[in-house]
Amino acid sequence: MGKILRVNLTEGRISTIETKQYEQWGGGHGIGSALFWELCKDKAISGFDPRNVVTIMTSPLSGTLVPAAAGRTEVQGIGVQGYPTEWFTRSNFGGRFSAMLKYAGWDGIVIEGKADKPVWLNIVNDHVAIEDAKWLWGLDTWETQEEIWRAVSGSRDFRDWIAAGAGRDGGRTTQRPAVLTIGPAGEHLNRNASLVHDAGNGAGQGGFGGVWGAKNLKVISVLGTGSVEIADPNALMEARRWFASRQYNVDAPAKQSPKDNFSFYGIITRSPAFGPLIFNMTEPCRPQGCAGCYIACRRRTQSGLGNESQCVESLHYSVGGPQTQWRATDLLQQCGLNVYDVFVTDYLRELYKMGVLGPGKQINCDLPFDRYGSPEFIETYTREISYREGIGQDLGEGIIRAAKKWGRLEQDLNSGLLAFPNWGYHEHYDPRLEVEWSYGSILGDRDINEHCINWYVHWMPTVTAMVGEEPLYSAQEMVEIISQKLVPYKDPMMLDYSADGIYAEGKAKMIAWHRHYTRFYKQSMAFCDWAWPDLINVNVPGLEGTTPEAEPRFINAVTGKNLTFEEGLETGRKIWNLDRAIWALQGRRRDQEVFAGYVYQVPTKAPYWLPVYENGQWKYSTNEGRVLDRARFEEWKTRYYKLEGWDPSTGWPTRPTLESLGLGKVAEELERHGKLGK
Amino acid sequence: MLAEVGYEERLVGYEMSPATGNAPRSLYSFREVCDFLRVGNPEDLLTKGSHSSIGYLDLEELRRWIGSVLGDRDLAEAIGRELEAHKTYRERVDAARELMRQRLEQCRAALSE
Ligand code: SF4
């Protein structure tokens, strides 16, 4: 453990924090929450307030050779996207930023205050400077990065060495700095602005681009020439070899994809370099991944279109032809926009068709709907939002606040025309059915975006159904294998998505396990969501994934500790409780933890595969015609709060729960504010 | 037959993608419906970019929509016969799509497109 960089933009002051003080939190999110708790004195402020504290954290595994865990960075602070409250929230991005930050000698960065003019932060090993960013303001995210590369590295050829310091031992590298930046959307204080790094790594959810814009912070650039110390290098290499022998699916794959290069299939068979999910490139391209990742789930293409973008961002404009889609995705990244908020052109078209939106209509809008599907439409749309022109003046506030201003919010959330089930975030997986996702989201601060269970319970049966194959494993096999890994509960009913199962005790255990696992292993130790946990592996006999053995094995090799899987979950529970305390101070109440109206009122209409336990048997069901039952969900919440040791009437953590986790001071603070559970 | 219909007359389908779950999609014309209705197969998944999911429609609703909103009773009846004749969703979609493709060709030919 090293040090964390503390930057106060108001005072132009740079200082350091010893990471050791925060060791109990693991890394990443845990340390970020602890720092926020201490440094953000008034947690009920707006995310745009200069007093908001933003943390950008690595994990102990960043920059190491741990598979699919070395290249993720966690961002936290009060976001500006959440509705009705701007919750303390998190976002995360991949690439090489976290590794570079570690090579520069830093475990993370804390940003406080607001600069009086645009600035950028220039980190070269332990030299840190706050510099004038007037010359960068107005540039898009790609132009900005190129400018920074030139400024820090000089106009060198990409094969040249760059000296990081003066003298022979100052450090040298061939790498360009890792740059995290906002684009025009962030500069215009959009609530849907992202932070972008390299071509296609974005921290979108939360609207941290707008938060940086409010702080007048355009860029953080980091160049490091050091390395990360590994406590037991032999153990790490052994663990990698063991993992590779079980995981890789290259020479003799047990399950052949029905087609080469078939990325949808690759993710369930865990093939290395399975490629982006949505872009099905027909042009020459090569795999691209975050630092140290064997999966390399993105691509670099010959044309350069769609480089590094690999998931929902590529759906920004799914009505256009492939070339138009790729270009639209690049534009989104260049402008620094969060796809999951601006991915609403279909909704706007509905309003246009209803006759309420259009030139001179109730919602005045000049978007060319007569050319919907064309490149012109999406270019105009993206530009108007990013620069707050035309309809973008409203949409830059995020679609939920725009709909509220237009007087449509309640009716459109009730009908499901606006499918935003929780906290103003877009629906991801069906909240009426795939409840480990929706319950986790409503109990937290955002759309959770954690695929831990989703790969197995929904993706696999869906993808195989899509290609007309039998499922790769039966529902019974899946439940038997996975439930044994869901320690300490090991309860098969955790995986029951039937009309009764989603309100049962098993689902409370499932949500608890998931919240604790992700808070520690994914968000604090930065194991990538696309690869972990490894619950089922079709490449080995018996189908057993490497969880729960792998995670502590890798962590211990790097840190020299003797962590057990259960201890990691317990730290996750501690972090989850601290986050919960922060939300309580922001005004969270039990009666707010309810979904948008459509979740309770509008039945599902299309097949959605999930395992159910019915008539004494496990099977994959298509689960049509379901709504969430309001009363049963309320009963379920009581059950869950009790399981977590929270007050069932308020949902706030109680003193015994907090004290058992070593959070007595947190209990005192909650008590002072009248927010301690009884 | 190829004109766009109004909001109240639209047909709602579901884009089923493992990346995002099921997303409703409003369809405003026969062309859009022909383009949307599909059952995944590996070939499509590789070559059609974001159109690589299942475009799901309630086929009975589709039949009614073609008959009443578009007013093409012949096509609606022909689709109805195919729905009766086939068992699985995939088979029904393939049969309905073929009929719709032929009708779209005929419309295009009539318009000299
Ligand atoms: S799986 Fe993809 S997103 Fe995750 S670390 Fe690897 S390359 Fe990055």
User: What is the per-residue pLDDT across A130-176, written as a single tens digit (0 to 9) for each?
Assistant: 999 999 999 999 999 999 999 998 877 777 888 887 776 778 888 99
Question: Same domain for A367 and A284?
Answer: yes
Identify whether A242 is part of a domain.
no
Identify whether A531 is part of a domain.
yes
Question: Same domain for A281 and A143?
Answer: no
Residues A324 and A306: their CA atoms lie apart, in Å, by 10
User: What is the per-residue pLDDT across A311-348, written as a single tens digit (0 to 9) for each?
Assistant: 778 777 777 777 888 889 999 999 999 999 999 999 99
pLDDT grade, residue B88 (50/70/90)?
Answer: confident
Residues in B touching A322 (Cβ below 8 Å): 48-50
User: What is the per-residue pLDDT across A464-491, written as a single tens digit (0 to 9) for each?
Assistant: 876 677 898 999 999 999 999 999 999 9
**Lowest pLDDT segment from A366-380, A583-597, B43-57:** B43-57
- What is the pLDDT at residue B87? 83
Identify whether A241 is part of a domain.
no
Dist. CA A70 → ligand 1 center (Å): 9
Ligand 1 binding pocket mutation candidate from A290, A450, A554 (most atoms within 8 A of CB): A290
- What is the pLDDT at residue A276? 63
pLDDT at B83 over 70: yes
Identify whether A480 is part of a domain.
yes
What are the boundaries of each domain within chain B?
A: 11-110
Question: Same domain for A294 and A192?
Answer: no
Question: Same domain for A482 and A612?
Answer: yes
- What is the pLDDT at residue A305? 86
Identify whether A15 is part of a domain.
yes
Contacts 24+ apart (CB under 8 A), A475-482: A475/A611, A475/A612, A475/A618, A475/A619, A475/A620, A476/A617, A476/A618, A477/A543, A478/A536, A478/A611, A478/A618, A479/A611, A479/A613, A479/A618, A481/A535, A481/A536, A481/A543, A481/A544, A481/A545, A482/A453, A482/A456, A482/A535, A482/A536
- What is the pLDDT at residue A458? 92
* Between A208 and A271, the higher pLDDT residue: A208
- CB proximity A315 to B under 8 Å: yes
User: What is the per-residue pLDDT across A51-70, written as a single tens digit (0 to 9) for each?
Assistant: 999 999 999 999 999 999 99
- CB proximity A84 to B under 8 Å: no
Question: Same domain for A110 and A186?
Answer: yes
- Distant-in-sequence, close-in-space partners of A50: CB < 8 Å, separation ≥ 6: A9, A10, A113, A114, A214, A215
Identify whether A661 is part of a domain.
no
- CB proximity B97 to A under 8 Å: no
Residues in A touching B40 (Cβ below 8 Å): 466-468
User: What is the per-residue pLDDT across A193-210, written as a single tens digit (0 to 9) for each?
Assistant: 999 999 999 999 999 999
Question: Same domain for A530 and A399?
Answer: no
First-residue to last-residue Cα distance in chain B: 14
User: What is the per-residue pLDDT across A637-658, written as a single tens digit (0 to 9) for each?
Assistant: 999 999 999 999 999 999 999 9
Question: Same domain for A210 and A281?
Answer: no
Identify whether A671 is part of a domain.
no
pLDDT at A278 over 70: no
Please count the other Cβ atoms lying within 10 Å of the Cβ belonging to residue A278. 29
Does residue A291's CB lie within 6 angstroms of at least one atom of ligand 1? Answer: no
The answer to whether the CB atoms of B46 and A261 lie below 8 A apart is: yes
- What is the pLDDT at residue B48? 44
Dist. CA B92 → ligand 1 center (Å): 39
Residue of chain B whose alpha carbon sits nearest to that of A350: B7
Of B19, B25, B58, the CB nearest to A312: B19
Specify the DSSP element, H or E, that contains A156.
none
Of A259, A459, A607, the CB nearest to B18: A459
pLDDT at A552 over 90: yes
Residues in B touching A608 (Cβ below 8 Å): 16, 21-22
- CB proximity A466 to B under 8 Å: yes
Q: How far is B83 from chain A (nearest CA, A)?
A: 18
- CB proximity A447 to B under 8 Å: no
Residues A451 and A449: their CA atoms lie apart, in Å, by 6
- What is the pLDDT at residue B45? 47
- What is the pLDDT at residue B50? 43
Question: Same domain for A477 and A603?
Answer: yes
Question: Same domain for A217 and A292?
Answer: no
- What is the pLDDT at residue A54? 98
Question: Same domain for A377 and A471?
Answer: no
Question: Same domain for A470 and A577?
Answer: yes
Domain span at residue A562? Answer: 435-645
Residue of chain A whose alpha carbon sits nearest to that of B35: A319
pLDDT at A592 over 60: yes
Section A43-48 average pLDDT: 98
The answer to whether the CB atoms of A259 and B46 lie below 8 A apart is: yes
Counting the structural domains of chain A, the total is 3
Dist. CA A275 → ligand 1 center (Å): 10
Residues in A touching B21 (Cβ below 8 Å): 427-430, 434, 458, 608
pLDDT grade, residue A1 (50/70/90)?
Answer: confident
- Check which CATH number belongs to the domain holding A538 and give it: 1.10.599
- What is the pLDDT at residue A249? 63
What's the token pair of residue A138? 């107005």
Identify whether A528 is part of a domain.
yes
**Atom 5 of ligand 1, residue of closest alpha carbon:** A68
- What is the pLDDT at residue A25? 98
Considering only CA atoms, which of A346, A345, A317 is closest in space to residue A333? A317
Residues A124 and A126: their CA atoms lie apart, in Å, by 6
Question: Same domain for A482 and A611?
Answer: yes
Residues A401 and A341: their CA atoms lie apart, in Å, by 11
- What is the pLDDT at residue B46? 41
- What is the pLDDT at residue A296? 86
Residue of chain B whose alpha carbon sits nearest to that of A461: B18
User: What is the per-residue pLDDT across B33-75, written as a single tens digit (0 to 9) for each?
Assistant: 998 887 765 445 444 444 456 788 999 999 999 999 999 999 9
- Report how far apart, in Å, the C-alpha atoms of A417 and of each of A344, A361, A427 are: 10, 19, 11
Residue of chain A whose alpha carbon sits nearest to that of B4: A353
Residue of chain B whose alpha carbon sits nearest to that of A454: B18
pLDDT at A591 over 80: yes
Which of A352, A380, A415 marks a domain boundary?
Answer: A415
Residues A334 and A630: their CA atoms lie apart, in Å, by 42
pLDDT at B89 over 90: no
- CB proximity B90 to A under 8 Å: yes
User: What is the per-residue pLDDT across A530-544, written as a single tens digit (0 to 9) for each?
Assistant: 899 999 998 888 999
- Check which CATH number belongs to the domain holding A379 and give it: 1.10.569.10
Residues in A touching B24 (Cβ below 8 Å): 416, 419
The answer to whether the CB atoms of A278 and B51 lie below 8 A apart is: no
